[in-house]
Structures are given as structure tokens and as C-alpha cells.
Amino acid sequence: MIWVTWAQHRREALVSGLILTVAAALLVITGLLMLADFQSSGAAGCASAGGGRAVGVFNAGTTCDPVLGAFFSRWFSLTQTAWLALMTLPVLLGIFIAAPLLSREFEQRTYLFAWSQSITKLRWAVVKLGLLVTVVVVSAAALTVLVMWWHSPLDRAGYGGPWAAFDVLGIAPIAYAVFALSLGTLAGLVFRRTIPAMALTLFVFVGVRILIAQVRPHFMTAVTGSALDVKQGSWLVSANYYTDAQGHHVSFEQVNQMVSVYASTAPKTFNGSTVMDYLHRQGISLLTDYQPPDRFWTFQLIEAALFFGLAISLIAASLWWLQRRA
Amino acid sequence: MTAALEATALTKRYGTTPALTECNLRIPAGHVVALVGPNGAGKTTLLHLAMGFLNPTAGGIKVFGWSPQAQPTIVLPRVGFLAQDRPLYRRFKVRDLLEFGRRLNPRWDGELARLRLERLAIPLHRPVGKLSGGQEAQVALALTLAKKPDMLLLDEPLSNLDPLARREFMQVLMDAVAEEGLTVVLSSHIIADLERTCDYLVILAHGQVQLAGEIEGLLDSHRTLVGGPSDRALLERDASVIHSSHTPRQTTMLVKLNGRPAAGQWEEHRVGLEELVLAYLSRPSGDSSTSPESVESATLQ
């Protein structure tokens, strides 16, 4: 049955293999260029010197910031393109490989030929699907390792930490791919027609990805801390906001009023840092909610568990459908 | 003796559309069976149920005594199935399909298939999609026979074939039947295709078996009667009327005799197979005065 599946799908396998090879070659070439630039522009030195530095506020003026800033802007558009391309790979897999996997056999009625051999329809589906899952997991894992190597200069330079590339790093992309292929397979099995199966795969995949991305900031209760010293590589999940000594929210208008009162009473000493001291004495703090960098892998695990869980349910549903409803 | 195919109160609905309704059928092994009925009668559904492709809504089906749904690994190697329009992987070369069959069937006889195809001058290195319709049908048949089945189920095997290809197909099939003593079920909506080769008839209409039995016995137990319009009442004792047509001066009826010859004032003719089939198929739905059991007793008289 493995030979049979290979014989039947070698064209798709070769095309997919070619696409992956080209993608990997591009990643290696641009990755080496980026790494060379990272070293030669001095960004590497700055990154190791500035480890653990606070992000964001009032930190300009060091000689490193322009160096790192220039490094990011040189690689910005390439990074964006690469993320977009990598993020579409799972849904392409779902639409063009998984959705036709069974629906094409139903459309061309070749499933009747396959089922007329001495293997059960359940085994036919399990081998096809199992082989596809194996190939996809292995290639997605290999590709993700490559992407993580490719992305590492950006990480080390503190480009929003790995959070900014959450969708293409770690184990989540593997889970997206397995989810996409189980979704496509079930759609193909239920509709028995390729085009509707492809359309459903596209809409459900994108819908579920958006939905879970909305929920993702709340996987764990965010840490609340002063907006002035959030650790580098944290994921800010709220805008900055003010609270008073009792911890109640204070609106920006109220704070502005206090600041203008202070400005009129002490116009001579009024500047950025005295205002902050003044607000601090009044019990006002500028806070933000964030997920610290050490939670990255926990979040990856949660995200991957969600999508692997969905994938397993869809595969179970496919086999049930084939056995009971077909 | 175990029946090759046995259906007991077999019912299959697709949603609310009934395909088979409480269908009873028993086909003894060793026959070449014509499964006849109009399009949509449930022939394909019956064959797919026998292969375990579908699950019955109610009732059961057995193949050589085994359930195709519960024991597919026992049933599948014993039954060769050729689906309607003979679907094959068209990108595969003939040789690759033989390899496909070898890997998926424990009783495979690839050498036999290769010899058959070589005898028909079908090139093994050519993709199936590039063969003629008749050659494609021969490849499909050779693959089905190479499985070394005890029974062949062929769903409209002659559809879309030209007359010459039909004849060659039946020739190869009947040679194989003669060599290997297979049970064969051929479905068709055209009886003429099957008349010369089959010795057993199953008529399926409206999701139920209308008639089943050995063709010889069925022809013996049915008669066409021609007589005056008033004689009908006298007849009812001796025979069941399957189909009748009237003109002002005469009545023509196809009847099943209940074990004794019909009363004398009728002009009596033997029936032909096509005539018999048409008479049963033209009965309105729900009229199953001839239950399969009584049919069987009639054929065994």
C-alpha cells in the first residue's frame, strides 16, 4: 500500500519537494547573507553588549541603536516576505495536497478500483493519511529548524524577540501543517468533490488560525508591570495605561489634568523626569500587560497542542465517516 | 450449501431515498447470474453492499457466509469486483496496475493476467488512459480475474463498449468461468447482453427482488396465454398473472403456472427471456405477489 500510494502521488510529491527545496535554498542563501551583515555591520557586537536591556522608552542615544536600527531596516522587507510565504505553506498544503487526496479518487471513481483489491477501505485511508502526515511532519520540522537558524540574528538583535515570528518558529508551524492536512482530508471525504473541499479547507483554516490568534494573548494571565522596564523580548499584550495608588485605572485625560496642574505650580522645574517623579509621588504608575520572553515555549506548546488536538479530532472524524457513513 | 450471495431483509436508504427495501435474495454458488433491472433499481447499491463499500441501513448481506462489513479481510480476497465504467488509474501504465494488484492481493496471479493481456496484444508499458475503450475494459477484467476470486461481481461491465469489444469481453470472461468454475454476477439494464451466457436470473426493481431463479426453470414455469377477454376468472386458480394486455377481442397474459397446466381454452406459448424480464419490470411498484420464496419453489418444482 505504501508503494501504491507513492506510485499514485509521486507527481505531487515531486512538485512539493521541489517547492520545499527552492524555499530551503532561498533561506540558506539569504540567511548566510544576513548573518554576514550581522557580523560585519557591528550589530552582533551591539546585540551581545545590550542583552537584557529594557525596550522602548527613553533609551535612545547609545551608539548601538542606529546600528541595530539600520540592520533591521535593511532586512525588514525580506523578513516580512519570508514570514508571509512560510505562513501560507500549511494552507497551500491543505488546499492542493490534502483536499484532493481522497476527493479526486471519489470524483474519478478510482476509489472503487482501490477498494476492490483485498485491503479494507479503512486501511486504504489510514496508509494514505499516515504517509502524508509522516512526510509533512518531517519536512515541516526540517523547514522550521532552518527558519529558526535563519531568524536567529534578528532574535539576538532584539527584534521584538521570537514573539514577533511566533507563527513561523518552534513547533506551532508543524501543528498548523498537520491541522491543514487533516482538515483537507476530511473535507475531501465528506464532499467527495475537489473544488468545494479546497474552498472549505481555505476558509476554515484561515478562520481557525485567526480565531486562535485572537485568543493567544490569554493563554496565560499576562504579567502586569511598569511600562518603563519591560524586559527585552517580551510580548506587550495591552497598550500602556495609568493606575492610582489603589490600583484603579486612571484615564489619560485625568493624568493630563494633573500634569497641567503640576506645570502651573512648578513651571521652572517642569520636564519629563520631574513629571514622572511627581506622578509617582501621587501614586500614579504607567503600567503595561505583557508575556515575558521565558513563556515563549510554553505558548508554543499550548498553540501546538490546540492544533494537534484539532488535527487528531479531524482525522478520527474522517475515519469514522469512512467506516460508518460512506 | 452456503450461498455465494445472500441478502436478508436488506435495506439501504441514502438519506430518505430508498435504494433497497427489505430485499431478500439467495444466489447459490456456481451460477452465472444476470442481475437485471432498470436504472436506479438498486443494482449498484446491492453490489456495493456485497463488497462492504456501503453499510446496510437494516438487514444483512452475506458473501459465502461472511459479512462483507464485519469480515472484509475474508470477503475481499474472494470476490473480484468491476465497478461501473471500469474505473482505473489512468496515469498508471498497465504494468504498474499489475504491480498495484500484486501488492494488494494475497491470491494474486500476475502471470495469468500478463498472458491474457499479451494474447490480446495490449502493450504493458502504455498508460491506461492511452488505451482504447475495449482494451481498457480488458485490462480491468484481467486485473479482476488475477485476484483469483471465487466470485466475480461485474457492474454494467459492457456499458460504453462497441459490439466487437463486448463480444471479446464476454469471450474472455466465459473462458475464465469455464476454466475456474467461478460464480459470476453481471448487472445490466439490457438483457440481450446476457441472454446467451447466464443461467440464473435476478430481476431487481423498485429496490426489491421481483424474480430470482435458474433461467431454465423460470422459462418452464411461465407461459404466455392468449384468449378471449372473459376467460380470465377461470385462470386465477391455476396461475398468477404477471402482466396482461387487452384488446376488445383478445387478452394476452404472461403468467406463472402454479404447478399445473393452465385450463384448455387458452392458447399457450413458451416465453422468451426478454419477454419474461419485461413483464416483471412493467409491474407497478409494491406489487410483489410473487415473493422470492414462492419463486424459488416454483423453479424447483
pLDDT at A60: 47
Asked if B77 lies within 8 A of A118 by C-beta distance, the reply is: yes
CA separation, residue B109 to residues B90, B98, B103, B175 (Å): 22, 10, 11, 16
Q: State the first-to-last Cα distance of chain A, in angstroms, to the nearest integer.
A: 21
Average the pLDDT over each of A113-117, A266-270, B160-164 and give the range with the smallest value: A266-270
Would you say residue B300 has pLDDT above 70? Answer: no
Asked if B144 lies within 8 A of A110 by C-beta distance, the reply is: no
Would you say residue B85 has pLDDT above 70? Answer: yes
In whole angstroms, what is the distance from residue B299 CA to residue B213 CA?
A: 6
Contacts of B98 in chain A (CB under 8 A): none
A97-115 tens-digit pLDDT: 999 999 999 999 999 999 9
In whole angstroms, what is the distance from residue B20 CA to residue B45 CA?
A: 8
DSSP sequence for B122-179: --TTSBGGGS-HHHHHHHHHHHHHHT--SEEEEESTTTT--HHHHHHHHHHHHHHHHH
pLDDT at B286: 56
Name residue B69's amino acid: Q
Contact A171, A162 (CB under 8 A): no
Contact B169, B138 (CB under 8 A): yes
Which of A223-227, B230-234, B292-296 reaches the highest mean pLDDT? A223-227
pLDDT at A326: 61
> Pick from A59, A30, A69, A64: which is nearest to A45 by CA?
A64
Contacts of B77 in chain A (CB under 8 A): 118
pLDDT at B260: 64
Would you say residue A137 has pLDDT above 80? Answer: yes
pLDDT at B143: 96
pLDDT (average), residues B155-179: 91
Query: Which three three-digit cell numbers place residue A111?
Result: 476509489
3-state secondary structure of A247: coil
3-state secondary structure of A35: helix
pLDDT at A59: 45
Would you say residue B292 has pLDDT above 50? Answer: no
CA separation, residue A248 to residues A244, A283, B208 (Å): 6, 11, 78
Of B76, B89, B147, the CB nearest to A8: B89
Q: Which residues contact A72 (CB under 8 A, 6 or more apart)?
A: A154, A157, A159
pLDDT at B289: 46
In whole angstroms, what is the distance from residue B268 CA to residue B229 CA?
A: 15
Which residue's entry shows cell 557591528? A42
**B235: confidence class by pLDDT, cuts 50, 70, 90:** low
Contacts of B83 in chain A (CB under 8 A): 109, 112-113, 116
pLDDT (average), residues B156-170: 91
pLDDT (average), residues A253-280: 82
Would you say residue A54 has pLDDT above 50? Answer: no
Would you say residue B210 has pLDDT above 50? Answer: yes
3-state secondary structure of A66: helix
Instruction: Compute the mean pLDDT over every residue in chain A, rounded to the nearest whole number.
Output: 88
Would you say residue B237 has pLDDT above 80? Answer: no
Query: Which three three-digit cell numbers place residue A89?
Result: 505553506
pLDDT at A102: 95
What is the rounded (10 degree) CA torsion for B146, B147, B152, B154?
-70
| Angstroms from B103 CA to nearest CA on chain A | 7
Around Cβ A195, how many Cβ atoms within 10 Å? 12
pLDDT at A99: 96
pLDDT at A238: 87
The fraction of chain A above a pLDDT of 90, given in percent, is 56
pLDDT (average), residues B128-146: 95
Look up residue A162 and give its DSSP letter: G
Would you say residue A178 has pLDDT above 80? Answer: yes
B47-68 tens-digit pLDDT: 999 999 999 999 999 999 999 9
Average the pLDDT over each of A65-79, A201-215, B9-23, B86-100 and give the range with the smallest value: A65-79
pLDDT at B233: 62
The fraction of chain B above a pLDDT of 70, given in percent, is 89
ipTM: 0.89
In whole angstroms, what is the distance from residue A211 CA to residue A209 CA?
A: 5
Average the pLDDT over each of A40-49, A116-125, A185-194, B70-79 and give the range with the smallest value: A40-49
Contacts of B54 in chain A (CB under 8 A): 326
pLDDT at B234: 60
Q: In what order do the strands lie in the sheet with B32-36?
A: B79-82, B151-155, B183-188, B32-36, B200-205, B208-214
In whole angstroms, what is the distance from residue B292 CA to residue B210 CA?
A: 7
Please count the residue pairs, one from chain A and one from chain B, whose beta carbons lie less than 8 angstroms apart.
Answer: 67
Would you say residue A288 has pLDDT above 60? Answer: yes
Instruction: Compute the mean pLDDT over every residue in chain B, rounded to the nearest whole number.
Output: 87
Bridge partners (DSSP) of residue B267 are: B226
Asked if B83 lies within 8 A of A116 by C-beta distance, the reply is: yes
Best to test chain B binding among A113, A128, A324 (most B CBs inside 10 Å): A113
Which residue's entry shows cell 542563501? A29
Asked if B83 lies within 8 A of A118 by C-beta distance, the reply is: no
> Pick from B270, B280, B266: which is nearest to B235 by CA?
B266
Look up residue B254 and give its DSSP letter: E
> Pick from B284, B291, B294, B280: which is nearest to B37 by CA?
B280
Shortest CA distance from B93: residue in chain A: A7
> Pick from B270, B271, B273, B239: which is nearest to B256 by CA?
B239
Would you say residue A52 has pLDDT above 60? Answer: no
Backbone angles phi, psi at B123, to 5 degrees: -70, 125
Query: Which three three-digit cell numbers place residue A53?
Result: 536591556
pLDDT at A90: 95
Contact B182, B150 (CB under 8 A): yes
> Pick from B133, B143, B199: which is nearest to B176 by CA?
B143
Of A4, A112, A324, the CB nearest to B103: A4
* CA A326 to chain CA centroid, nearest Å: 36
pLDDT at B141: 96
Average the pLDDT over each of A235-239, A294-298, B21-25 and give the range with the smallest value: A235-239
Asked if A120 lies within 8 A of B80 by C-beta distance, the reply is: no
Would you say residue B95 has pLDDT above 50? Answer: yes
pLDDT (average), residues B84-91: 93
Query: Which three three-digit cell numbers place residue B152?
Result: 466475480
Which residue's entry shows cell 480491468? B140
Bridge partners (DSSP) of residue B205 are: B208
Query: Which three three-digit cell numbers place residue A260?
Result: 497641567
Would you say residue B290 has pLDDT above 50? Answer: no
pLDDT at A271: 77
CA separation, residue A109 to residues A105, A115, B207 (Å): 6, 10, 23
**B129: confidence class by pLDDT, cuts 50, 70, 90:** very high
Around Cβ A264, how many Cβ atoms within 10 Å? 9
Would you say residue A3 has pLDDT above 50? Answer: yes
pLDDT at B299: 35
Average the pLDDT over each of A33-42, A276-285, B292-301 and give the range with the smallest value: B292-301
Query: Which three three-digit cell numbers place residue B241?
Result: 398473472
Are β-strands B151-155 and B183-188 bridged in parallel, bridged antiparallel, or unpaired?
Answer: parallel
pLDDT at B232: 64
Contact B56, B69 (CB under 8 A): yes
Asked if A326 lies within 8 A of B54 by C-beta distance, the reply is: yes
pLDDT at A202: 98
DSSP sequence for A253-293: HHHHHHHHHHHHH-TTT-SHHHHHHHHHHTT-EEEEEEE-G
Would you say residue B12 has pLDDT above 80? Answer: yes
Q: In what order do the strands lie in the sheet with B58-63?
A: B17-28, B3-14, B58-63
> Pick from B107, B116, B117: which is nearest to B150 by CA?
B107
Best to test chain A binding among B53, B94, B154 (most A CBs inside 10 Å): B53
> Pick from B148, B128, B125: which is nearest to B138 by CA?
B128
Bridge partners (DSSP) of residue B230 are: none
Would you say residue B293 has pLDDT above 70? Answer: no
In whole angstroms, what is the distance from residue B43 CA to residue B45 CA?
A: 5
Would you say residue A57 has pLDDT above 50? Answer: no
Tell me how many degrees the CA angle A282-A285-A290 measures, rounded to the nearest 5: 170
Which residue's entry shows cell 476527493? A103
Backbone angles phi, psi at B14, to 5 degrees: -100, 105
Of A4, A109, A120, the CB nearest to B87: A109
Asked if A113 lies within 8 A of B89 by C-beta distance, the reply is: yes
pLDDT at B285: 66
